Structure 1
Amino acid sequence: MKYTLGILLGLAALLSSCSRANEEKSAIAVPAKEMMMNAPPPSMEADKELNEGMPGPTLATPTAAVVAPARLLIYHADLRLKVENLPQASKRLDSLVQRNGGFLSAANEVREEEEWRQAMTIRVLPSRFRAMMAALGNLGTVEEKKLTTDDVTAQHADIAARLRTKRIVEQRYIALLARAKKISDVLEVEQKIGEVREEIESTESRIKTLNDEVAYSTISLVCYQPLAQPIPDAPVVSFSSRLVDSFYTGWTLITSVLIGVVAIWPFLLLGSAAWWAVKRWRRRLA
């Protein structure tokens, strides 16, 4: 009986402890549920961190933008300026060229009766091209201005591809030359190698020219200063000179009249004949 009573008391204590545990769990679960319901939705950053920490598929990331290749542009300008003082403008021009990191590739100076002119070719970096043009316009009066831009990107790529192909052909000819045994074959291959190398040198020269034109823009500048023409003084004419000149003028007039009369002799002859005929006709009537 005592054992039975002890067993019953133990079961009662166990049931009471289980009920208290269930109450505590329910009390804890309700606030947690409310917090989950009231919490804001997870952000993209949180999802990204969660996906990075877990295996399997991750969130999709935007693809990188395709970067367009740099364009190869050649800038060229033709500029004609009228200046008041050419030597002073030339000094200012040298200072502008040095300040903008350029250089003079050609220069020519001519002094004529009506103008004093300088023709120059200026090379400047493309980044300083517009600034250089604006500064040159302040040297004098712009009478002519022409700007051109050439896109040589495709042309440069085509020439570079041809150069690579020619170099591959050269290497193949060199390999054939190493395997050639006959003298005729050796001479023929060497001739082909020479022709290919000439084409390679020409292509390389063309690429260097394009690179130079792209690296430095070209400005063809003409500066000129008008020169005043001297007016000669009026000569002093004496009385005797004027008298001789008048005599000569009168003689010229007389000779001109005489020559004119001689020139119209047919009309004088016809007029005289008509006058004689009219006079005779009147006499018959009388």
Structure 2
Amino acid sequence: MRTLFLPLFFLVFMNCSKSNADKQAVNADLMEVISEDKIVSDVAIPPPPAPAEISKASAVTSTSIPKKTDTISRKVIKNGDMRIQVGDIKKAQSQINDILKKNNAYIQKEQFQNTDTDDHLNLTIRVPHKSFDELVNSFSNGVGSVLSKNISSNDVTEEYTDITIKLANKKIYLEKYRDMLKSAATTKDMLEIQENIRELEDEIDVAEGRLRFIDDRVNYSTLEVILYKEKVRSSATSNIGFGSRFVDSLAEGWNSFVNFFLGIISFWPFLLLIPIVIFLWKKWKSGKTK
């Protein structure tokens, strides 16, 4: 009896210890789950942002990130004209050539005029926009006495921008018409589309030519320069006596009379009408008297 009791007691003890171990394992797992839940619950989960905050954040983001925009630089055309009195035309022209080389400018047009009272040298000069002011100052200080100077600036940015936008739109329409031409079904449609394409191409050429002209006038300014030298009466001419001057006056009077007489002779076809007019007038008068 005692021998049977000992094995039974040993089995019961083993079962109890095993159940306690299982309970402890289960309790440990529960503790881990509880601890994890506690950690997760302890972490503060932010609430969803309100609509006002969302709009505010988007506004801040939009202001902080610069937008890429296509801008056209300012287009300014500078022109000028100067009238300079010099003592020697050739010497002044040599000085101007040196000034032009320093400023990368060139002469577009040159015209010389020699009269009884003065000499004129008219120059049309093209100079890079950035060197325009320096060129004008060089002419003002080192060439001669400036009699007049006029400088003007014309801002054509608005015109340039308007032409550029219209040109881009016309090119888009041109591509659409070309696509339509490929799928045209009738000859009439093809002719109409081709006419529209031709008109657009002409307008595009005109717009591009205008843009090239503006770019040229902006990149290179134009300066009109007149070199003026007044002629001084020589001593031989200033000491002419009364008799010589009297003879010269008679000769000028005779020349004027000859010119007047020749002018009248040039109207000889109209002189033939005078007898006819007189004859008709007398005939009309005699008929009125009867």
Q: Quickly name the TM-score band, shorter chain normalised.
A: 0.5 to 0.7
User: What is the alpha-carbon distance in structure 2 between the residues aligned to residue 179 and residue 69 of structure 1?
Assistant: 37
Picking from 103, 106, 109, the partner of 1:103 is 106
User: What is the alpha-carbon distance in structure 1 between the residues aligned to residue 198 and residue 103 of structure 2?
Assistant: 44
User: Who is 1:130 aligned against?
Assistant: 133
User: Who is 1:93 aligned against?
Assistant: 96
Deviations 1:106-141 (A, max 9, x none): 111111111111111111112211110011112011
3-state SS in 1 of match to 2:171:
helix
User: What is the alpha-carbon distance in structure 2 between the residues aligned to residue 182 and residue 71 of structure 1?
Assistant: 48
Deviations 1:215-246 (A, max 9, x none): 11111111111122452621669xxxxxxxxx
Picking from 177, 183, 187, the partner of 2:187 is 183
Question: For residues 139 and 74 of structure 1, do their structure 2 counterparts lie closer, same or farther at Cα, with a shift above 3 Å needed?
Answer: same
Question: For residues 102 and 65 of structure 1, do their structure 2 counterparts lie closer, same or farther at Cα, with a shift above 3 Å needed?
Answer: farther
Which residue identity lines up with residue 220 of structure 1 in the other structure? E
Picking from 212, 223, 230, the partner of 2:227 is 223
Deviations 1:75-123 (A, max 9, x none): 1111111111001101111111111111111111111111111111111
CA RMSD of aligned residues (A): 2.5
User: Who is 1:205 aligned against?
Assistant: 209
Q: Is the 8 A contact 2:72 2:161 kept in 1?
A: no
Question: For residues 217 and 236 of structure 1, do their structure 2 counterparts lie closer, same or farther at Cα, with a shift above 3 Å needed?
Answer: closer
3-state SS in 2 of match to 1:91:
helix
Q: Displacement of 1:206 after TM fit?
A: 0.4
Deviations 1:15-38 (A, max 9, x none): xxxxxxxxxxxxxxxxxxxxxxxx
Deviations 1:140-198 (A, max 9, x none): 11111111111111211111001111111111111111111222221221111111111
Map 1:1-286 onto structure 2 (within 5 A).
70-137=73-140, 138-230=142-234, 231=237, 233-234=240-241
Q: Is the 8 A contact 1:113 1:229 kept in 2?
A: no
Which residue identity lines up with residue 206 of structure 2 in the other structure? S
Q: Displacement of 1:203 after TM fit?
A: 0.4
User: Who is 1:40 aligned against?
Assistant: none
3-state SS in 2 of match to 1:200:
helix
Unmatched runs of 5 consecutive residues or more in structure 2:
1-59, 245-290
User: What is the alpha-carbon distance in structure 1 between the residues aligned to residue 177 and residue 222 of structure 2?
Assistant: 41
Unmatched runs of 5 consecutive residues or more in structure 1:
1-59, 238-286
Question: For residues 188 and 145 of structure 1, do their structure 2 counterparts lie closer, same or farther at Cα, with a shift above 3 Å needed?
Answer: same
User: What is the alpha-carbon distance in structure 1 between the residues aligned to residue 168 and residue 208 of structure 2?
Assistant: 10
Structure 1 moving runs of 4+ over 6 Å: 64-69
Q: TM-score, normalised by structure 2?
A: 0.57
Q: Displacement of 1:65 after TM fit?
A: 9.0
